[in-house]
Amino acid sequence: MPRSGRLLKNVRMDRKLKTLQLLIFGALTLRATEPAFAQRTYSAEEEQNKQIVLDFYEKALNQKDFASASKYLGAYTQHNPNVPDGPAGLQQYIEFLKKTSPQSHGEITQVFVDGEFVILRIHVVREQGSRGFATVDIFRVKNSLIQEHWDAVQPVPETSKNDNGMF
């Protein structure tokens, strides 16, 4: 292919690349104008479930007050294999926290609700000065009582391979 033909082909490729870059930039710019954590409006029942779980979490895990938290418990099926099942299992876990981590506290950083399910993203610090844990707690609420609980816990590392943050 003559040199002028190669140059013309390179110019066409450059134009296509620039057009593609502009399209990507435009799409990203439009996306950036949307709210970062847009959520739909919750039904009255979902709002009630959210308030039940938030109050329960504060009383049970931050205040470590089983008597105040227990009014929100139904069967309380526990899916964390390290905690016994039912309200009695939660009571044992709260007593364990009182003895081993009396200063532990969880800061709820995000709440999601979908029908019976309330999902909390939490930064839990068991010992002051530690990095703590990134935790996701999932609760199922039925008839205004917490029936089930799941969680996933990940230590907050000293360094990260990205700048996104965990919370």
pLDDT in tens, 8-55: 565 565 666 666 565 565 555 544 444 445 568 999 999 999 999 999
Q: Whole-angstrom Cα distance, residue 167 to residue 121?
A: 8
pTM value is: 0.76
Judge whether 163 lies within some domain: no
Pair 77, 49 in one domain? yes
Judge whether 1 lies within some domain: yes
Pair 49, 30 in one domain? no
Judge whether 88 lies within some domain: yes
The predicted pLDDT at position 36 comes to 46
Q: Whole-angstrom Cα distance, residue 22 to residue 28?
A: 10
Average pLDDT over every residue of 72-96: 97
Burial code (b: 16+ CB inside 10 Å, e: under 16) for 113-149 equals beeebbbbbbbbbeeeeeebbbbebbbbbeeeebebb
Average pLDDT over every residue of 53-69: 98
Pair 19, 67 in one domain? no
